[in-house]
Structure 1
Amino acid sequence: MSFISVKQIHMNCGWEIKVFPQTHLSKEKTETLVLEAFKEVKRIEDLLSHFKDSPFNNINKFAGIKPVRVCEEIWKLLDDAIEFSNDTHGSFNLAYPSKEEALRDHKLIRRDFDTREVYLPHRDMRISLGGLGKGYAVDMAYKYLLSQGVINFLVNGSGDLRCHSHERAPRPWNLAITNPFNPELTIGLLKLKNNAMATSGTYKKGQHIKTQEINRPISATIVADSTKVADMWGTYLCSLTCTEAVKKMNSSGLIGIIIDSSGNCFSSTKSLDAQKQYKDSYV
């Protein structure tokens, strides 16, 4: 059965939305809804970009000058990112390298909860949501399509994925895991129905990952309920040793796979359970 596939470029990378034929929607209507979902991706890009003028980047623009009042959407994303930074003791860090390493500290970010203002107290300090922003855009496109009654679809933001399957769908989605040594290739498949998946790694452009030492993951693929959460976890796990990352995945009940610089693959206990459920989950 053929599906509708629409590809666009957003956030400097390729995106694709796939939708299986809808019994309750015409092909033309479905394509229109997919294009509207991409408009949501563009809206998030324009809202959160730190590469160009944007409401989020105004925080950086006025660093060391004055506080910036932000919209509720940015405030909530910042709150989630800072909370995760605190939970991971700064291993996940939205403050990225500047002229002074000491400024790469999320605890320096000042927030006024009454006025919803954000202030970076040093002129050279900078923050970015990084992959979290892309994951959030995937989630918002997914939620838009779902709100319009679309079923059995996949939103793929260059490896940040979220899929939907109707309860009567005949089979799950087969989602590929990128090979960190050659991003044009894959190392396996995950079978998902109504989940999100994201891959983080030191092989990508990622200022949120602090280390590239031996015995640390160069790639972490995480399955979660939202792409935003999967992105944050993947980024954090790449800052740990492989042993620590596996322990953290198991203690948090995550489905995840990490790969080290030697090509060794480590799976969480929950991933191994999924492999037993679908014998060909990993190839």
Structure 2
Amino acid sequence: MGGRFDITIVAEDSLTSEKYIDTVIAEIVRIENLISDWKPETQISEVNRNAGIHPVKVDREVFELTRRALQFSQITNGAFDISFAAMDRIWKFDGSMKEMPSAEAIKKSVEKVGYKNIILDGVSSTIFLKLEGMKIGFGALGEGYAADRCREMMLAKGVKAGIVNGSGDMSAWGKQPNGEPWKIGITNPFKKNKLLDVVTLHEGAVTTSGNYEKFVVFNGKRYSHIINPSTGYPATGLASVTVFGPSAEMANGFSTSLMVLGSKAGLVLLKKYPEYHCIMITDKGKVIRSKNK
């Protein structure tokens, strides 16, 4: 999935924990080989190759993950969109971009993006991308989904505690060996060597999306690498969003969406899902916490 996974397992001895870690790694690789959009042999790559041509039959697991992603697109009115993979990468966050892209270039960059052009057939388990050149990708959900799956697998095997961390998408269960709950540090986006807060995590998940690693500044305004898929413009207003809840997949979808929606609309959305709560930090450094904590 193009990201780093860190796996922590609490077991009776190191050999047992290593065995379980190997099982987790194998599951992450299995999922990657289903949903990666940069490995040509995966089912998602096959779907992308046949955009505008014909539907592609996929495993039920891939179909259901895609269906859940489309539900996220619907509840966020397109702030979240897995067809974002088709966007032309006209924004550069490596220091090479000296001026903003033109309005015409930005509009053209999202021509192939649009979740309403993803057609699912639940009977035949097929995915069809209506427009030639469309692509879907699970960069915003895949690691969270894998973390959740691995947690479920370890619980089913009787592993009492651990954390699966997919590039900041964490799924945890149980307690530390000393009996205390897991403690998760929230990075201060303006002082990255300091923590904004430390929260306890029992059986649940936490994910963070932020603009403090990759961004550009034009006319005093910060533009992040998180792009609004419906407009082609980078998200502004928030420096980071951390979401807590039962599922890393869902939390990741929310954290990405809230960066695009902004604090006001984001809080309205999250209020409908009382199992989830968030900490948002604005570009000005203001800390906003949702009330359903």
- Determine if the alignment matches structure 1 residue 160 to structure 2 residue 148: no
- Determine if the alignment matches structure 1 residue 139 to structure 2 residue 148: yes
State the distance in 1 between where 2:191 and 2:173 align: 28
Instruction: In structure 1, give the amino acid aligned to 2:288.
Output: F
- Deviation at 1:80? 0.5
* Match of residue 229 from structure 1: 250
- Determine if the alignment matches structure 1 residue 267 to structure 2 residue 254: no
Percent sequence identity over matched residues? 28
- Determine if the alignment matches structure 1 residue 45 to structure 2 residue 32: yes
* Match of residue 30 from structure 1: 17
Query: 1:102-113 to 2 correspondence within 5 Å?
Result: 102-113=111-122
Query: 1:140-219 to 2 correspondence within 5 Å?
Result: 140-165=149-174, 170-181=179-190, 186-203=195-212, 206=226, 211-214=233-236, 216-219=237-240
- Deviation at 1:51? 1.6
- Deviation at 1:39? 0.8
TM-aligned CA distance change 1:100 to 1:12, over 3 Å = closer
| TM-score w.r.t. length of structure 2 | 0.79
Given candidates 65, 76, 80, the residue that maps to 1:92 is 80
Instruction: In structure 1, give the amino acid aligned to 2:5.
Output: W
Instruction: Assess if the C-alpha contact under 8 Å between 1:152 and 1:169 holds in 2.
Output: no
* Deviation readout 1:154-204 (Å, 9 max, x if unpaired): 111121111111699732110122333466654321111111111123456
- Determine if the alignment matches structure 1 residue 15 to structure 2 residue 2: no
State the distance in 1 between where 2:192 and 2:60 align: 36
State the distance in 2 between where 1:101 and 1:158 align: 26
| TM-score w.r.t. length of structure 1 | 0.82
State the distance in 2 between where 1:100 and 1:211 align: 10
State the distance in 1 between where 2:32 and 2:113 align: 23
**Greater RCO (Cα-Cα under 8 Å, separation 6 or more):** 2
Q: Which runs of 5+ in 1 are unaligned?
A: 1-10, 272-283
Deviation larger for 118-127 or 90-99: 90-99
- Determine if the alignment matches structure 1 residue 118 to structure 2 residue 127: yes
State the distance in 1 between where 2:199 and 2:113 align: 35
SS state at 2:33 partner: helix
- Deviation at 1:83? 1.2
State the distance in 2 between where 1:120 and 1:103 align: 10
Runs of at least 4 residues off by over 6 Å: none
State the distance in 2 between where 1:157 and 1:66 align: 33
Instruction: Assess if the C-alpha contact under 8 Å between 2:28 and 2:146 holds in 1.
Output: yes
* Deviation readout 1:83-121 (Å, 9 max, x if unpaired): 111122111111111465232110011222221111112
State the distance in 1 between where 2:248 and 2:183 align: 17
Instruction: Assess if the C-alpha contact under 8 Å between 2:10 and 2:177 holds in 1.
Output: no
- Deviation at 1:50? 1.0
State the distance in 2 between where 1:264 and 1:49 align: 36
CA RMSD after TM alignment: 2.4
State the distance in 1 between where 2:227 and 2:56 align: 23
TM-aligned CA distance change 1:188 to 1:71, over 3 Å = same
